[in-house]
């Protein structure tokens, strides 16, 4: 009898889940620790996807002021998320989909929508278990879509606050269902009070106990502290927190966040996680490219000085750079690639409303105006742009920085006296920057959340332009976040006066890049999109590289 071949399907190894929670206090670098862990598992040959849960009622991060919540990071598919998603993309050198980010608000919104759609079959819909179940559904969907071996989920906030209790409940439910596939890592903080001069473990012990109260037990504790954790304290933490001593990881402060994966490996973090989760041994940790990048950031090279002129820097007595995090990182990656040492200064646009202050800009090799909204600081920005244009200082304008560059040109070169952007002065005679047609009704109906032109769109570049030369390509895909655009009525006049629109949407209706030709200026480029969102340590962004290069070349 002829044997029929039976197809043997090899059993897929189960998907593994790592939850990262924070103990003791916020702001200890949980996101970076999380990104570093994901990087190490990736370096061991696993397919890793990273998720972030933010415990806010805001449905996405787009409606929060950046001085309150840091930069809004837009994913390829258009979701407005938290800056940690940017860290994940940069560390893992990958694009992450919308499903990988959720907030309390978005989870409730889905559950309520399902209830409205009669999807609960007449049952009473309850906070527990229906909210954690929706969280688990999303985690599993993200894992399935990414075909990941490991799904890493960072829970925002600190253990012990009310806000993230339902997410801890989701962890508890998952762990009780498949204990062998779930690991919990607590990123905690160990203070070294000046008055005592000794590292204290008690706050971490208390945080672990609080986590245990939620029915969740840590498998590993990453100890953030000003200095490394010694063996004595590791043993103490191990004993009082029910964690093996090898799973107490030292995470001292570092100057350069990209060194953190390398530091974690000194305590064999990825091997420990491999054991906890019983992950297959795919390969030894391969951090060659990463190490090379880290080394390139340490070499004492020639300095290039870049001024970033923004409006969100000042918060009380503090200067915030988180608001423009991706921009700053993008400058650094390109500088390191060019073997330069970037010195980035954060200048407040407000200061340049007084033109006498513009002389401060003499100290810089390149000027960048990042994205922004509203009236505050725009006079200062316009003055800075005029200075950069006239003095031939390399200028890079991102989104609002592009719109204002076009506006400055309209006012000072095309001599349109009453020119403005509709965002600021809808009654101006010349609305050189106007509201996009699709946005009009949304603004009138106050549909402001998640309704801008968001996410990745293609654009075509003019052959031979500054932009096309930088990209070495005539078609690009970049991420957007805006409501306004260059008003097409003014394009002929602006071009006649020398401005070039070298990047356009495929149907040529939207102006994506404005530039001055090389004969007129060493580098004057404004982009309607946010290239910083796609700049990666191992893959710097070509436009940032062209800008930093031009800045450096003007020094000689
Ligand atoms: N405020 C401008 C707009 O909405 C620019 C936005 C931005 O810089 N992200 O079009």
Give the pLDDT of the chain (556 residues) as one tens digit per residue.
455 555 555 667 789 999 999 998 888 889 999 999 999 999 999 999 999 999 999 999 999 888 777 899 999 999 999 999 999 999 999 999 999 999 999 999 999 999 999 999 999 999 999 999 999 999 999 999 999 999 999 999 999 999 999 999 999 999 999 999 999 999 999 999 988 889 999 999 999 999 999 999 999 999 999 999 999 999 999 999 999 999 999 999 998 999 999 999 999 999 999 999 999 888 888 999 999 999 998 888 899 999 999 987 665 555 566 789 999 999 999 999 999 999 999 999 999 999 999 999 999 999 999 999 999 889 999 999 999 999 999 999 999 999 999 999 999 999 999 999 999 999 999 999 999 988 888 888 888 988 899 999 999 999 999 999 999 999 999 999 999 999 999 999 999 999 999 999 999 999 999 999 999 999 999 999 999 999 999 999 999 999 999 999 998 6
Give yes or no: residues 116 and 75 share one domain. yes
Residue 226 has a pLDDT of 92
Contact at 8 Å (CB) between 233 and 49? no
Question: Ligand 1 test: best mutation among 377, 432, 482, 511, most atoms within 8 Å of CB?
Answer: 482
164 belongs to a structural domain: yes
The CATH number covering residue 118 comes to 3.40.50.300
Give yes or no for residue 399 CB within 6 A of ligand 1: yes
310 belongs to a structural domain: yes
Contact at 8 Å (CB) between 224 and 192? no
Give the total number of structural domains in the chain: 2
In a 13 Å sphere around the CA of 529, the CA atoms on its Cβ side amount to: 31
420 belongs to a structural domain: yes
Give yes or no for residue 480 CB within 6 A of ligand 1: no
358 belongs to a structural domain: yes
248 belongs to a structural domain: yes
Residue 1 has a pLDDT of 47
Q: What share of the chain is helix, strand, coil (3-state, %, to 5)?
A: 40, 20, 35
Give yes or no: residues 245 and 362 share one domain. no
Give yes or no: residues 313 and 237 share one domain. no
Give yes or no: residues 276 and 421 share one domain. no
Give yes or no: residues 65 and 173 share one domain. yes
Residue 313 has a pLDDT of 66
Give yes or no: residues 469 and 347 share one domain. yes
Nearest-CA residue for atom 8 of ligand 1: 371
348 belongs to a structural domain: yes
What tokens were used for 548? 């930093």
What tokens were used for 344? 């980035």
Nearest-CA residue for atom 9 of ligand 1: 371
Give yes or no: residues 196 and 309 share one domain. no
Domain boundary among 292, 326, 343: 292
Give yes or no: residues 443 and 312 share one domain. yes
The CATH number covering residue 424 comes to 3.40.50.880
**Residue indicated by tokens 């401005």:** 499
474 belongs to a structural domain: yes
Give yes or no: residues 115 and 237 share one domain. yes
What is the rounded distance in angstroms from the CA atom of residue 501 to the CA atom of residue 510?
10
Residue 154 has a pLDDT of 97
Give yes or no: residues 190 and 103 share one domain. yes
Give yes or no: residues 328 and 273 share one domain. no
Mark out the alpha helices in 214-268 (DSSP H runs). Answer: 231-241, 260-266
Domain boundary among 292, 314, 339: 292
**What pairing do the DSSP bridges indicate for beta strands 150-155 and 72-74?**
unpaired
104 belongs to a structural domain: yes
Give yes or no: residues 325 and 275 share one domain. no
Domain boundary among 262, 292, 322: 292
Rounded to two decimals, what is the model's pTM?
0.94
- Supply the range of the domain harboring residue 346: 299-553
Q: What atom of ligand 1 comes closest to residue 399's alpha carbon?
A: 8
């Amino acid at each position: 009898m002829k044997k029929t071949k039976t197809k043997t399907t090899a059993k897929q190894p189960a998907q593994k889940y790592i939850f990262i929670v924070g103990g003791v206090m916020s702001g200890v670098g949980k996101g970076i620790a999380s990104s570093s862990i994901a990087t190490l598992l990736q370096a061991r040959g696993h397919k890793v996807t990273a998720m972030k849960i933010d415990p806010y009622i805001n449905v996405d991060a787009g409606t929060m002021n950046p001085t309150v919540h840091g930069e809004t990071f837009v994913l390829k598919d258009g979701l407005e998320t938290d800056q940690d998603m940017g860290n994940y993309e940069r560390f893992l050198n990958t694009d992450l989909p919308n499903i990988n980010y959720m907030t309390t608000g978005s989870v409730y919104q889905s559950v309520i929508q399902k209830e409205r759609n009669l999807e609960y079959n007449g049952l009473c819909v309850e906070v527990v278990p229906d909210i954690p179940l929706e969280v688990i559904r999303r985690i599993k969907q993200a894992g399935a879509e990414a075909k990941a071996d490991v799904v890493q989920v960072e829970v925002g906030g600190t253990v012990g606050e009310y806000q993230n209790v339902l997410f801890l409940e989701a962890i508890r439910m998952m762990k009780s269902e498949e204990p062998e596939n779930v690991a919990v890592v607590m990123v905690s903080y160990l203070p070294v009070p000046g008055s005592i001069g000794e590292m204290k473990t008690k706050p971490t012990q208390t945080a672990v106990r609080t986590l245990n109260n939620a029915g969740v037990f840590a498998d590993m504790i990453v100890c953030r502290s000003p200095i490394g954790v010694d063996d004595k304290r590791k043993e103490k933490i191990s004993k009082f927190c029910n964690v093996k001593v090898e799973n107490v990881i030292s995470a001292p402060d570092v100057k350069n966040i990209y060194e953190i994966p390398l530091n974690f490996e000194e305590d064999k973090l990825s091997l420990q996680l491999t054991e906890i989760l019983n992950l297959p041994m795919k390969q030894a940790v391969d951090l060659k490219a990463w190490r090379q990048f880290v080394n390139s950031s340490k070499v004492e090279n020639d300095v290039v000085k870049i001024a970033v002129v923004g409006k969100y820097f000042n918060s009380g007595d503090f200067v915030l750079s988180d608001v423009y995090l991706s921009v700053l990182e993008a400058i650094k990656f390109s500088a390191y690639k060019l073997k330069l040492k970037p010195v980035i200064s954060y200048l407040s646009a407000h200061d340049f409303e007084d033109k006498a202050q513009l002389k401060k800009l003499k100290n810089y090799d390149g000027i960048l105006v990042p994205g922004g909204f509203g009236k505050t600081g725009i006079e200062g920005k316009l003055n800075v742009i005029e200075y950069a244009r006239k003095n031939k200082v390399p200028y890079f304008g991102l989104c609002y920085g592009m719109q204002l560059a076009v506006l400055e040109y309209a006012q000072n070169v095309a001599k349109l006296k009453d020119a403005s952007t509709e965002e600021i002065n809808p009654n101006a005679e010349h609305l050189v920057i106007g509201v996009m047609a699709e946005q009009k009704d949304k603004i009138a109906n106050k549909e402001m959340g998640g309704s801008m032109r968001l996410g990745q769109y293609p654009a075509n570049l003019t052959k031979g332009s500054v932009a096309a030369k930088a990209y070495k390509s005539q078609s690009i895909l970049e991420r957007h976040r805006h409501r306004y655009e260059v008003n097409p009525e003014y394009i002929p006049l602006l071009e006649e006066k020398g401005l070039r629109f070298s990047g356009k949407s495929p149907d040529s209706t939207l102006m994506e890049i404005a530039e001055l030709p090389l004969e007129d200026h060493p580098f004057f480029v404004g982009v309607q999109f946010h290239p910083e969102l796609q700049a990666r340590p191992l893959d710097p962004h070509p436009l940032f590289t062209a800008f930093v290069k031009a800045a450096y070349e003007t020094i000689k």
